[in-house]
Chains A and B, each alone.
Chain A
Amino acid sequence: MNIVVLVKQVPDTESPRKLKSDDSTLDRAAADGVINELDEYAIEEALRIKEAQGGEVTVLTMGPDKATDSIRKALAMGADKAVHLVDEALAGSDALQTSYAIQQALGRTGFDLVVLGSESTDARTGVLAAMLAERLGVPQLSLANKVEIDGSAIKIQRQTDYGFDKVEASLPAVVSVVEKINEPRYPSFKGIMAAKKKPVDTIGIADAGIDAAQVGLANAATEVVDFAEAPPRAQGQIVTDEGDGGAKIAEFLASKKFV
């Protein structure tokens, strides 16, 4: 089975995250880059499917040069090879453009299954799986907390507010995963060493057949008008419990008409 797992490098949420003042895009230099957390679950799920079904796991990343770190980690976890789509022309692309670029790159890798995290911790749009399924004309098996594959039949449990939906489809398909689907493995020392020798195909937009007029900040379908740091919350009142902490909160709630 040809499994492609989408991996995005995002700023570490523990480091300061900023927008650049000149073009309102993410300041990627200001923060340490890490694999988007939910993508680790996607990598793990892709590896488990490969281990059960046979085949190959390809990491597909769109992002700047420094995203190589995240690609190496995915390879160290056990993915077989990687495609790194990197091109200045892609900088500042919005969700609609990103889904187009990835669709084009998938044309190069081919796929039976595309696996990705349901959301990134930076932009948090949560739209990519839906956009890709729409563009590719394949089943959208998103928000999965369980995946079962039998031949070309695929079943997932789709997480909902009330529990889950059981969903059935046929491959090829796009699967997005939620946090509790598995427990991502840590790369072993052997895995880290092996990752250094695994092939990484670094490509530009021309290699992927991406039309430059359809990507990048200048051609985005959305634009940031302005931004500013949120005003800090006013310093609240903090008291130490002296046996009446609960009663004091109740008084505060009453003063605010909550009770």
Chain B
Amino acid sequence: MAEILVLVDHVDGEVKKVTLELLTAARRLGEPAAVWIGPGADGAKDKLAEYGAAKIYVAADEELTSYVVAPKAALLAQLVADKSPAAVLVSATAEGKEVAGRLAVKTGSGVLTDVVDVAEGAVAEHSIFGGGIIAHAKVKTGTPIVAVRPNSIAPEAAPAAGAEEAVSVTLSDADKAAKITEKVVQEKGERPDLTEAAIVVSGGRGVGGAENFKIIEDLADSLGAAVGASRAATDAGWYPHSFQVGQTGKTVSPQLYIAVGISGAIQHRAGMQTSKTIIAINKDSEAPIFELVDYGVVGDLFQVAPQLTEEINKRR
């Protein structure tokens, strides 16, 4: 069976959940082979094997993570040449898509981004135009490169051998043209990553000010959720831009999305419409967000949200 390369997303030696989703999807296409780039693979190999990695290619050289994206694409291009995989899967994060783009140029292959499902033959499903259209696409030329949106595919364990093989690549000067001199950690809390979280609680214009975002954070914390914000809220400076959910921000697809004080303009809907269950609290009964909801409450968020937090905490 042909190999399917899966680029591992990891932070501080921890495999991110999206990688387990990619390994699960890869099993539909062939035999998953995880590709770990950077130091720290040892602590993660069991997890990768548990989710179906028959092989684990480890490129431990720290140099590969010292430059913007290009070295990762160089390593994958070499593996594509050496191992002739049937497809390469990466996560559809901002960086994952960039790796996919460079790899596509290097290998002369078609690339499909922001895919929400993958079927046999590497047929990819897209949810486009803010979730209004479902399209299926495939790659005609080269090795299919597919960037899959986090939280789109349920990860399932399927233990495999996880045989390790050390790999390396010689970087060109062009691969080393954009040097990362410092990684600055700004927001690191206990909350899960926005794009990976099973539950997201977002606040919008109705929240009314930076200080009121505590209401959103308290609700999020009662559910172990990530916090998001609409563009109105980030534009006003109430919450950092990196938490913006929407067309010009992050796309999320959690099990549960709670929109608080968000009217639901297309700008916002484009970033959350594929959430499985949607709840909204808004004082305007005509707000378009109510067209999407499974459950909605028309009311004052300053009354409803704290009560919800309290009720959830009571049930814990």
Which residues of A line the B interface, CB within 8 A? 13-14, 17-19, 24, 37-38, 94-96, 99, 118-119, 121-122, 124-131, 133-135, 137-143, 145, 157-170, 173, 178-180, 220-230, 233-234, 236-241, 243-250, 252-254, 256, 258-259
Contact = CB atoms under 8 A, between A and B. Distances in A.
B97 A125 contact: yes
Contact of B101 (A37, A130, A169): A130
A221 B139 contact: yes
Contact of B105 (A134, A180, A226, A249): A134
Contacts of B251: 124
Contact of A239 (B93, B174, B277, B298): B298
Contacts of A253: 256, 279, 312
21 contacts: A13-B247, A94-B110, A96-B105, A124-B247, A129-B98, A133-B70, A134-B73, A134-B102, A140-B69, A140-B98, A140-B102, A158-B180, A161-B193, A233-B278, A233-B294, A241-B298, A241-B303, A249-B279, A250-B308, A250-B315, A258-B255
Given A95-B104, A258-B223, 6 more contacts: A131-B104, A133-B178, A179-B241, A233-B292, A240-B285, A259-B312
A134 B106 contact: yes
Contacts of A165: 68, 180, 182-184
Interface in B106-165: 106, 108-114, 123, 127-142
Interface residues of B, number: 100
Contacts of A168: 178-179, 181
B133 A237 contact: no
A230 B130 CA distance: 10
Nearest to B12: A162
B298 A124 contact: no
Contact of B298 (A157, A227, A238): A238
Q: Which interface residue of A119, A180, A237 has the most chain B CB atoms within 10 A?
A: A180
Nearest to A240: B298
A96 B104 contact: yes
A121 B281 contact: no
B185 interface: yes
Nearest to B298: A240
Contacts of A252: 279, 294-295
Interface string B230-241: 000010000001
A230 B132 contact: yes
A193 B277 CA distance: 50
Interface of A is mostly: mixed
A96 B145 CA distance: 12
Contacts of A248: 297
Contacts of B305: 246
Contacts of B311: 246-247, 249-250
B84 to A, nearest CB: 18
A233 B279 CA distance: 13
Contacts of A96: 104-105, 108-111
A167 B178 contact: yes
Contacts of B291: 233
Interface in B249-277: 249, 251, 255-256, 266-267, 270, 277
Nearest to A181: B241
Nearest to A243: B303
Nearest to B173: A137
